[in-house]
Chain A
Amino acid sequence: MLVVRLALRNASRNVRRTALTALTVLLGTMLLVVGMSWVRGIFGQFQAEAARSTGHVRVTTQAWAEREQLQPLYENIPRTAPLVQRLERVEGVSAVHPRLQLGVLASKDGGELGDTLALVVGAPLAYHRDVLGLPERVAQGAWFDEDPQVAGKQALVGRALAREMALSPGDKAIFLGRTQDGSMSDVAFTVVGIVDTGNVLYDKQVYVDLERTRWMADIPEGALEVLVYGEDYQAAEELQAQVALALADPGLAAELALAPDARLIAQAWSQREPWASALKLVNAIVGIVIGCIVFITALGVLNTMLMSVLERTGEIGVLRAMGLGTAGVLALFVVEALVISTVGGAVGASLGSGLAIALQGVGVDLGGAASNLPDTMPVNRVLHPLWSPDLAVSAFLLGLVMAVVGSSTPALRATRIQPVQAMRARR
């Protein structure tokens, strides 16, 4: 108790130095809260979008998954209806949507075909509506017609692609794709609406009814992917295990008219590239960033605490002569640093939280730079940090860690001071 009282007194002895230590911890803690809320916001958005657009769990043929970049349409699931029915019965599954995406050459009616590439996303309208939330994103025009016959010939076009092709609602767009055999496949759609999804990837795509892309690819009853959704995308790997069990039925291959050598696989979004690698990379980056902040802040604490030790050499000598042990000297400095860091950390975490919450409401618009991002990344045009109380608490606790780490070396140095040497130093 005496040590605590002494530590508290020491903290108030040199106000300027104490303030400097507290400020170091304050900045470090604040930086941690803001930085971590940005990482959580940006990467969390990537994850959520990836899981949303490509399914919490995705079922494909193994051959297709292995060569997805080349889009081998012939590696499809020839009949998806029985698979969808089965997966809908799996525990924890809330929705199942077959999807058939096709890379096409696109042209406005009357234009040339050759240089405008587009991705046509063919899926049941329920996928476009419930999963992608496109009805709320229609910036011009309207949602699909209620008559399925009419809706089948309509397309929603992403804002960026519509701008590139100079398309407006009511225009006719021509797409030239391929069948699964490689034959040419031409189709015209009436642009029913332009969607502004706020996402770089989605704004470059075309959204149509699944039946139309089935016709284009000449896969009358099938699809390339069957997307499975559960309640929480973070629990996708548990759902994947359930889905994989459902796929293990030996009778399923015949029901789906799969080729004899074809095999279905289920992958959670976090198990697929680029997310599997990205998750590891982000975790590593987060670790390095936290480590750097902790190290720099601890260095600041170490610096000021070392000054304290040097200033109080004589005083420490007297205390040691009066019987204060090594543990007591150690505790004296660590507790002093903890006291200062508690104040600095609390203020830093509060200020950081305030800043993160303010930025969360406003966001940062990437503007034109967004169009230079890779087409494969579902990045939102406006990025937001994501703050939560646990971030502030974690940063505050890390502030205390910084204090302990930063003060440990000066404290150890103080324990090595001998009373006689200290008296001689007269300090």
Chain B
Amino acid sequence: MRHLLLLLVGLLLVLPGRALALTATELLDAVDANMTFDTRESTMTMTVTKAGRVKTYELHSYGRGATEGAVEFNAPARDKGTRMLKKGGELWMWLPNVEKTQKISGHMLRQGLMGSDFSYEDMLETASLKERYVATMGSEEVVNGRKCWRIDMTARSADVAYPKRVSWIDQEYKVPVREELYALSGMKLKVFTFSEVQDFDGRKFPTLFTAEDQLQAGSKTELRFTDLKFKVPLQEEIFSLRWLER
């Protein structure tokens, strides 16, 4: 009888927890639901701080699904007119001074976008986390004042830019609060933080991204969405080389 009682008490204690707890896959699904999109149009300011020098860019971007994106720089004057187009796994760039469209590849993809801590490769990687990584659930931690779940991710294939990724997911909003990106060797390459979460018709989305390149001391980039719309109709032309060269 005593054993039966103990078993009942045990079940009462364990079962609700099991029922409420998310698996890592479910959590990634929830994060992907917030962070990926069908279409998106946004205006952003990107502030790059390097060795105490600060430079701010204004840019306008369009996105359609995980494979198509377009960015145009509007300020400062020297960079105005620089446009980039991501199509499939390829990145194209309009060089305003040369007045040419160039395909960007290889070494260039690992360079910082306009000297920022976000690489061109970071721009290209907008596929869902679930598609790119196998995740395991970690502990509950408080990060930047938010209760989070930690998940440890390992890339599914060798062509993913960061083979290891650790994310702290906001328990309330199901968006990342902090991400640490690692090389295969275990060296920490970058730290991303996400904040100022806003609601967009039920979708939670952080409107301030920061990136810190761990290999460059004192280097930091803030990407702030000043205007952000999801599910907007976008012209087909935007995602073509013609748009780059217009």
Contact = CB atoms under 8 A, between A and B. Distances in A.
Contacts of A178: 115
A105 B51 CA distance: 23
Contacts of A113: 93, 102-105, 108
A215 to B, nearest CB: 9
A183 B100 contact: no
B100 A182 contact: no
Interface string B94-113: 01111010111111110010
Contacts of B78: 179, 183, 218
Contacts of A186: 95-98
Contacts of B147: none
Contacts of B45: none
B61 to A, nearest CB: 16
Contacts of A182: 48, 50, 55, 112, 114-116
Contact of B108 (A174, A176, A181): A176
B106 A114 contact: yes
SS of B interface (majority): mixed
A184 B51 contact: no
Interface string B215-226: 000000000000
Contacts of B112: 182
A114 B105 contact: yes
Considering residues A115, A179, A182, which has the most beta carbons from chain B within 10 angstroms of its beta carbon? Answer: A182
Contacts of A109: 100
Interface residues of A, number: 23
B207 interface: no
A178 B112 CA distance: 11
B86 to A, nearest CB: 14
Given A105-B107, A114-B107, A183-B79, A174 B102 contact: yes
A71 to B, nearest CB: 12
Contact of B104 (A72, A114, A179, A218): A114
Contacts of A256: none
Given A72-B51, A115-B105, A117-B107, A183 B98 contact: no
Interface string A162-191: 000000000000101011011111111000
A112 interface: yes
A186 B82 CA distance: 10
B104 A112 contact: yes
A43 interface: no
Contact of A112 (B51, B76, B103): B103
A74 B53 contact: yes
A37 interface: no
Interface residues of B, number: 28
B114 A174 contact: no
A107 interface: yes
Contacts of A112: 102-106
A101 to B, nearest CB: 18
Contacts of A184: 79, 82, 95, 114-115
Contacts of B106: 112, 114-115
Contact of A183 (B51, B95, B108, B114): B114
B109 to A, nearest CB: 7
Contacts of B98: 174, 186-188
Nearest to A109: B100
Interface in A102-141: 105, 107, 109, 112-115, 117
B79 to A, nearest CB: 5
Nearest to A174: B98
Contacts of A185: 97
A329 to B, nearest CB: 71
Nearest to A110: B100
A193 B96 CA distance: 26
Contacts of B104: 112-114
A186 B108 CA distance: 13
Considering residues B95, B97, B102, which has the most beta carbons from chain A within 10 angstroms of its beta carbon? Answer: B102
Contacts of B105: 112-115
Nearest to B109: A114
Nearest to B116: A182
Contact of B100 (A72, A105, A174, A218): A174
Contacts of B50: 74, 181-182
Contacts of B108: 105, 113-115, 176
Interface string B63-80: 000000000000010110
Given A74-B51, A186-B98, A181 B107 contact: no
16 contacts: A105-B107, A114-B105, A114-B107, A114-B108, A117-B107, A174-B100, A182-B55, A182-B116, A183-B114, A183-B115, A184-B79, A184-B82, A184-B95, A184-B115, A186-B98, A218-B78
Interface of B: 48, 50-51, 53, 55, 57, 76, 78-79, 82, 93, 95-98, 100, 102-109, 112, 114-116
The 6 closest A-B pairs by CB, nearest first: A182-B115, A114-B106, A114-B105, A186-B95, A115-B106, A114-B108
Given A174-B102, A184-B95, A218-B78, 17 more contacts: A72-B51, A112-B106, A114-B105, A114-B106, A114-B108, A115-B108, A174-B95, A176-B108, A178-B115, A181-B53, A182-B50, A182-B116, A183-B55, A183-B57, A184-B79, A185-B97, A186-B96
